[in-house]
Structure 1
Amino acid sequence: MAFWKILFLLTLCLCLANIVHSEYEALECLNVPTREFVGSVNATIETIQQVSSVLSGFAGVMDDFRLSIAVRDCQDLVDTSVEELSWVVSASLNGNSKENGTGNMNSDMKTWLSGALIDQETCKEGLNGINGTVKNLISSNLDLIASSLHELLSMVKPTTDSGPDTIRGSKKPKTHDKFPIWLSPHDQNFLNSTNTKVDVVVAADGTGNFSRIGDAIAGAPKYSAKRYVIHVKRGVYYEYVAINKEKWNIMIVGDGMDATVIRGNHSRPDVLRTYDSATFAVKGKGFIGRDITFENTAGPHKEQAVAFMSDSDASVLYHCAFRGFQDTLYAHKNRQFYRECHITGTVDFICGHAAAVFQKCQIKARKGLVGQKNTITAQSRKSTEDESGFSIQCCNISVEHDILNMNITYLGRPWKQYSRTVVMQSYIGHGINPKGWLEWKGDLFLDSLYYGEYMNDGPGAGLAARVKWPGYHIFNDSAQADPFTVSKLITGDKWIPATGIGYTSGLSSYC
């Protein structure tokens, strides 16, 4: 046999041996060998697909309207879970890539696994109040899937930092330092430019390519790696907009948060589920919204009524307003960033399971029903391995004048067992109850939640009368607050304060 042929065969054998060996080695972000992890993920995908087949068999053949709505939503949720788990498999086999994620594999995997877990929970919640064999069959399978997802989450190591702890900036901050790392310089220019090049224009008066936002979104490409920009001209748009999971990198630009308004009035009593009540719902990756208002006018008597619901991973909302009453902004899952937005509501008006940072936002509680208490946040983290949570940083928290002296507004309450919310470096005005935080039901979750406050000021920021729960924390140094910055909680870029002074780990001397 020729020398070169022998050398080729030896090289091929060595490569195959290395591939087999690597399958048994753990990636740096895993606690188990890669092959074991991928096998477990694929087994979970197969189980979910079986449940999806069962749901498909029930779809459209049931006389029970409530059950048929729940089954329809479950079908969509479990299909989304399969897609999220496929991203996990791809990341495991292809390494630390920004093609599907942010480039931080720990955070990406934790995010997508947690997203799949919350999909099962949301599906199950939709079955509440429904009796019968179908519910029992679906619920038992969802419990099995949830158990597998909890196990997978435990196989992924906690997120590591994506960069150095300390960055010293110049006196004049760079534009991109305001935004998360997943935004390209091109997208950062979109956010700062008033002359953004757009793909299509929506105008209610018929002067654009479309008169309805939904029609413009329907024409957008699927799974696009390129930003697709829709300019929505000033006006009030009475429609219910949904950006599904296949529509990646959609950007919607309005003419100002008081000029371009998307308005609806659906509520849970109308559509049976909070999840379905949103005026605007987005699921596709990489969504950006700018200079627009999302509104639900159902009123406080209609219970849960969502203005904006997001599943979109690596999404940014900039100069947007969210107006409603109960459950105004439903940050359902994944990593989300809100900057310089206005958010108003009554009960749990920033809610959901997402890892979300609200930075330099105006957050205002309004008058609801007589005798009703206001809660600004209701975060729904369900597991200690789950890295979700809400961070309210450098914001202005206040109440409307007609409830100023009523002390009925609280910073948050625990929707789920491991609810996690931190308020830091923010101004807290009059009208916030001195206790700060409200129980969900008696002492439920008070020892497992994680709530924190750090360096807040204003008449409502006093800590002397705050709750004494085991899960409540007063941060005394920056190390405790650091995990809740943009760079850590959502693995975003380190941000630079408006003063241009150097910063440390996302915490600024100035807001």
Structure 2
Amino acid sequence: MLITVSKNSNEGYSSLQEALDSIPPEHISEVTIRIRPGVYEEKITVRQEAPPILLLGEDPDSTLISWSDNAHTLGPDGEPLGTFRSGTLNVFAENFTAENVTIRNASGPGTGQAVAAFVDAGQAVFRRVRLLGDQDTLYTGKGRQYYDNCYIEGDVDYIFGAATALFERCHLHNKRSRGYITAASTPEAAKFGYVFLDCRITGGAGVSEVYLGRPWRDYAHVAFIRTSMDASVTGEGWHNWGQPGREETSRYEEFASSGPGAHPEARVSWSRQLTPEEAAGYRVLTVLDGWHPEGY
């Protein structure tokens, strides 16, 4: 099933949410929603009962989904939305893929938690997607998630959550000094939390003292494998979030980091440098428990 969303009134739906809502409840096979270039200012929800969905833009530079809710925005009930209802794109479906689009929370710096993509899916894939925001840009709620050639920016805890998520060839961009890239809440029983393979980290002009992560929950797991890091990354690398006990339970790992921000000798003592043999075990199939996200 193919649905088109376009700013051209003569071509398909003008609203992405309307396109999603048009899918018949009894439809169970894959649905491709082709998004023509344009700025789509709307808050999107992909419901749990949705069939496998592919949101397919033409390219991230020309295809933008944007909204500006934050944790303090008042909802229909008159109460603040909170972090978990602030998302621009909210995914609850079991199988979801997005390609060649930009997803932005335009709330702006200093407005608090403001999620661009809230991903609470069984299996989710993002390819060539830009995720733009400040604090809490990407929430990875559950399931297995794969990010390939994506650009993700923010300042505080801008990748956070409990899912097992693999980031391959992604670009992470730090927008503010003394920030944190990850805030994992990996469950105790999970073998993997966040794994970054062959990624790069950059910072804006003058940005410094950014931590690779801090543990949102006790058993946070984050591994950076062959990641290029610029000088925005602090030598310590990792922060305990003011919870010394989490130094005993968190698993923070690196292998073959490079660039001015790679300082294995300066990292906190409770992080680890993996051996080549250990790092070889961080492969897509292994991290994602046998699932390789090649299309559907």
TM-score, normalised with respect to structure 1? 0.54
Query: Is 2:182 the partner of 1:377?
Result: yes
Paired with 2:155 and 2:89, the residues of 1 have a C-alpha distance of 19
Which aligned runs of 4 or more in structure 1 are off by greater than 3 angstroms? 221-225, 492-495
Structure 1 residues 309 and 264, CA, compared in 2 at 3 Å: closer, same or farther? same
Give 2:173's aligned residue: 364
Give 1:273's aligned residue: 82
Q: Which has the higher strand share?
A: 2
Paired with 2:26 and 2:163, the residues of 1 have a C-alpha distance of 22
Paired with 2:38 and 2:289, the residues of 1 have a C-alpha distance of 36
Give 1:240's aligned residue: 43
Aligned counterparts, 1:33-48, within 5 A = none
Paired with 1:396 and 1:358, the residues of 2 have a C-alpha distance of 11
Paired with 1:296 and 1:277, the residues of 2 have a C-alpha distance of 9
Give 1:453's aligned residue: 254
Paired with 1:494 and 1:206, the residues of 2 have a C-alpha distance of 38
Q: 2:279 aligned to 478, 481, 486, which one? A: 481
- Unpaired runs of 5+ residues, structure 2, are 74-79
Aligned counterparts, 1:419-498, within 5 A = 419-469=220-270, 472-478=271-277, 480-492=278-290
Give 2:201's aligned residue: 397
Shift of 1:390: 0.3
Aligned counterparts, 1:92-111, within 5 A = none
Paired with 2:259 and 2:27, the residues of 1 have a C-alpha distance of 45
Paired with 1:220 and 1:388, the residues of 2 have a C-alpha distance of 35
> 3-state DSSP class of the match of 1:268?
coil
**1:423-456 CA distance string (max 9 Å, x none):** 0011111211011112211414111001100122
Query: Is 2:52 the partner of 1:249?
Result: yes
Shift of 1:462: 1.9
Paired with 2:25 and 2:136, the residues of 1 have a C-alpha distance of 29
Query: Is 2:30 the partner of 1:227?
Result: yes
Structure 1 residues 238 and 443, CA, compared in 2 at 3 Å: closer, same or farther? same
Give 1:8's aligned residue: none
Matched-pair contact (CA < 8 Å) for 1:260–1:293:
yes
Shift of 1:365: 0.6
> 3-state DSSP class of the match of 1:205?
coil
**1:11-45 CA distance string (max 9 Å, x none):** xxxxxxxxxxxxxxxxxxxxxxxxxxxxxxxxxxx
Give 1:350's aligned residue: 159
Matched-pair contact (CA < 8 Å) for 1:240–1:278:
yes
Paired with 1:225 and 1:486, the residues of 2 have a C-alpha distance of 27
**1:311-369 CA distance string (max 9 Å, x none):** 122221000000000000111111000000000000000111110000001111103xx
Q: Which has the higher helix share?
A: 1
Aligned AA for 2:81?
L
Structure 1 residues 200 and 348, CA, compared in 2 at 3 Å: closer, same or farther? same
Aligned AA for 1:240?
K
Paired with 1:481 and 1:340, the residues of 2 have a C-alpha distance of 21
> 3-state DSSP class of the match of 2:34?
strand
Paired with 2:251 and 2:28, the residues of 1 have a C-alpha distance of 37
Q: 2:110 aligned to 301, 315, 326, which one? A: 301
Paired with 2:292 and 2:13, the residues of 1 have a C-alpha distance of 38
Shift of 1:483: 4.4
Give 1:208's aligned residue: 11
Shift of 1:408: 2.1
Shift of 1:223: 7.2
Larger Rg: 1
Paired with 1:494 and 1:308, the residues of 2 have a C-alpha distance of 22
Aligned counterparts, 1:165-180, within 5 A = none
Query: Is 2:63 the partner of 1:264?
Result: no
Matched-pair contact (CA < 8 Å) for 1:224–1:249:
no
Structure 1 residues 417 and 317, CA, compared in 2 at 3 Å: closer, same or farther? same
Identical positions, percent? 29
Paired with 1:346 and 1:333, the residues of 2 have a C-alpha distance of 22
Query: Is 2:218 the partner of 1:409?
Result: no
Matched-pair contact (CA < 8 Å) for 1:203–1:211:
yes
Paired with 1:426 and 1:348, the residues of 2 have a C-alpha distance of 18
Matched-pair contact (CA < 8 Å) for 2:174–2:232:
no
Give 1:313's aligned residue: 122
> 3-state DSSP class of the match of 1:206?
coil
Paired with 2:292 and 2:273, the residues of 1 have a C-alpha distance of 24
Structure 1 residues 284 and 457, CA, compared in 2 at 3 Å: closer, same or farther? same
Structure 1 residues 425 and 223, CA, compared in 2 at 3 Å: closer, same or farther? farther
The alignment covers a number of residue pairs equal to 287
> 3-state DSSP class of the match of 1:256?
coil
CA RMSD in angstroms comes to 1.7
Shift of 1:388: 4.4
Shift of 1:484: 3.3
Paired with 1:408 and 1:223, the residues of 2 have a C-alpha distance of 52
Shift of 1:200: 1.0
> 3-state DSSP class of the match of 1:447?
helix
**1:166-193 CA distance string (max 9 Å, x none):** xxxxxxxxxxxxxxxxxxxxxxxxxxxx
Shift of 1:393: 0.7
